[in-house]
Amino acid sequence: MSRLVAKEEEKKKENGEGWRSSGEEEEEIKEVEKKKKEEKRKEEEEEKKKKKKEKRKEEEGEGKEVVKWVVNIALEITRVTKDDQQLSLNDQIHFNEYNTTNLILSLFVRQILRYQRIQYEMDPEYLFSPEEGPGKTERAIVEHYFKMNYSSRFNPTRITRAGRFGRVIVIPRDGGDNLLSVEAWKELRDLDNIVRNATIVFGEDRISYKYDDICAKWVDHCFENDILNLDLIMDEVVNKSLNLTFPIMFNPITWDAHTFPVYFGGTVVSDDGLIVSVPSLQLVYFVTADTPTQDQRGARWEEAFLDAVGKAEDSGRFKHISTSRFASRTLDIELEKNTQSVVPYFGSTFVIMAVFSTLTSMMLDWVRSKPLLGLLGNLSAAMGTVAGFGLAVYCGIPFIGINLVSA
C-alpha cells in the first residue's frame, strides 16, 4: 500500500497536483483572514442593530408607561373629584380636618427650620454704624499703638471698646444731696461685697467664677474702686477734722491717690478747693475680655451683676443710698426691649386686618359675596412672610429685632 501511495504522489507532483508554492500559501492565508474580519465586522454590525432595536423598544415602552401613568392620574383625579362630590357631611368634615392638620404641620415644620440655624444679632455698633466709618478707622490706629490687655496690663485710659463691665451709679436716698456720711459709706461697702460675690457657672467643666476670678488686672491685682477706702477716714470728714481737696488727694491711711472727678458726680466745691458735698458717685467693675471665651464669660457675669444689684435695690436692703445699674449690654437689651414692645399689638393688628379684608369681600348678593377670600388672603400673606423669614434664617442671614416691626 505504501508503494502505491508513494507512486500516486509522484504522479501528482509530475502533473502539478497537490503542490503549491509559498506565495500561493500566503495569499490563501490572507484571504482566510480577510474573510474572518469581514464575518466579524458583520457580526458587530448585527449586534449594534440589535441593541438599537432593543433601546428603541425600551424607549417606546417607557413612553407608553408615561402615557399610561398620566392617563391613570387623570382617571384618579376624576374619580377622586366624583368621590368628593359624593362625600357625606361627616366625610367632608374629616377631609377638612385632614387638610387643616397638614396646614398646621407645615407651619410647625417651617418654624422648626426657622429656629434651627437662627443667628440673633443685637449689637448696636454693628447695626447702626458704618463698617468703614472714620471713627472705626481712627480706633484701629489707637488700638494698634495702645493695645488693651485686660489680663495683666489693664489701664482704663486705653479703653476704646465697651468690653465687659458693670457700673453702679449711687445717689442719696429720700432726696438727699450728699453721700459724705458714715452710713452711706457702710452701705457702699455692702454694695461692693454684693458685686464681688455675684457668682456664675460657665464652660463645659461648669466652673464657678466670681469677680475676683475674672477681673481685669494690672499684673496680679484686680482693678479696685479705691474711692471706697474713704470709709477709713469718713468720721474725720464728717466732723470736719479732715477735708477732701478737689480734684485729688492722698488718703492718709492707705496712701491711695483719690482722683475725685473719676468717681464723684456733680461735686460741690468751695472757693478754697474743698469738697462740700457729693450728690452722686459711680463704681465700675471691669472683667477680662481678651478672647471670645472670656467675652462670653464676661457677658454671663454681667447678667449676674445686673441681677444681684437689682435684687438688692428692690429688696430695700439699702436705707441711705439708691442705686442704678448699667453694663456693656444694657444698651443692647434696652433697644431690644423697645423693639419687642410692639409684639403684644400684633394680635390686635391681625384681627383688624382680618375683619377689614373680610368685610370688604362681602356683598349683599350671597352668590357673589366671598368673605372667606379676604381671610384666606391674610393667611396666605402670613404664611408667605413666615416662609420668607424662615428661608432667610435657614440660609444663615442674621436675624435682628427690627424684623419684628417691619414684619
Instruction: Quick: pLDDT tens for 153-179.
Output: 888 888 888 888 999 999 998 778 889
Angle at 184 between CA 179 and CA 190, to 5 degrees: 135
Task: Identify the pLDDT of residue 187.
Answer: 93
Task: Identify the pLDDT of residue 92.
Answer: 46
What's the CA gap between 407 and 402, in Å, rounded?
9
What's the CA gap between 169 and 167, in Å, rounded?
7
Q: Evaluate if residue 237 carries a pLDDT over 80.
A: yes
Q: Average pLDDT of the chain? A: 78
DSSP 362: -
Q: Evaluate if residue 211 carries a pLDDT over 80.
A: yes
- In this prediction, residues 229-239 reach a mean pLDDT of 90
Q: Confidence band (pLDDT; 50, 70, 90) for 396? A: confident
Task: Identify the pLDDT of residue 23.
Answer: 58
Q: Confidence band (pLDDT; 50, 70, 90) for 109? A: low
Task: Identify the pLDDT of residue 17.
Answer: 45
What's the CA gap between 120 and 114, in Å, rounded?
12
- Give the gyration radius of the chain's Cα atoms: 46
What's the CA gap between 284 and 163, in Å, rounded?
12
Task: Identify the pLDDT of residue 72.
Answer: 62
Most confident of 48-57, 108-117, 128-137, 191-200: 191-200
Task: Identify the pLDDT of residue 14.
Answer: 52
Q: What is the torsional sign of CA 232, 236, 241, 247?
A: positive
Contact 255, 189 (CB under 8 A): no
Task: Identify the pLDDT of residue 374.
Answer: 82
H/E segment holding residue 321: strand 321-327
SS3 of 282, please? strand
Closest CA to 285 of 176, 201, 163, 404: 163
Closest CA to 305 of 285, 322, 289: 285
Q: Confidence band (pLDDT; 50, 70, 90) for 150? A: confident
Chain centroid offset of residue 79 CA:
49
Closest CA to 125 of 112, 138, 136, 109: 136
Task: Identify the pLDDT of residue 5.
Answer: 44
Give Cβ neighbours of residue 170 (< 8 Å, ≥ 6 apart): 179, 188, 191, 280, 281, 282, 283, 321, 322, 323
Instruction: Quick: pLDDT tens for 83-108.
Output: 544 444 444 444 455 455 555 555 55
Instruction: Supply φ then ψ for residue 383, to 5 degrees.
Output: -65, -40
Task: Identify the pLDDT of residue 110.
Answer: 56
What's the CA gap between 210 and 354, in Å, rounded?
53
Task: Identify the pLDDT of residue 358.
Answer: 85
Residues of the chain with pLDDT > 90: what percent?
Answer: 19
Residues of the chain with pLDDT > 70: what percent?
Answer: 73
Instruction: Quick: pLDDT tens for 323-362.
Output: 999 888 888 777 777 777 777 777 788 888 888 888 888 8
Task: Identify the pLDDT of residue 19.
Answer: 46
What's the CA gap between 6 and 9, in Å, rounded?
5
Instruction: Quick: pLDDT tens for 26-42.
Output: 676 767 677 777 777 77
Instruction: Quick: pLDDT tens for 283-325.
Output: 999 999 888 898 889 989 999 999 999 999 988 889 999 999 9
Q: Evaluate if residue 279 carries a pLDDT over 90.
A: yes
Give Cβ neighbours of residue 209 (< 8 Å, ≥ 6 apart): 199, 200, 201, 202, 297, 301
DSSP 345: G
Task: Identify the pLDDT of residue 134.
Answer: 87
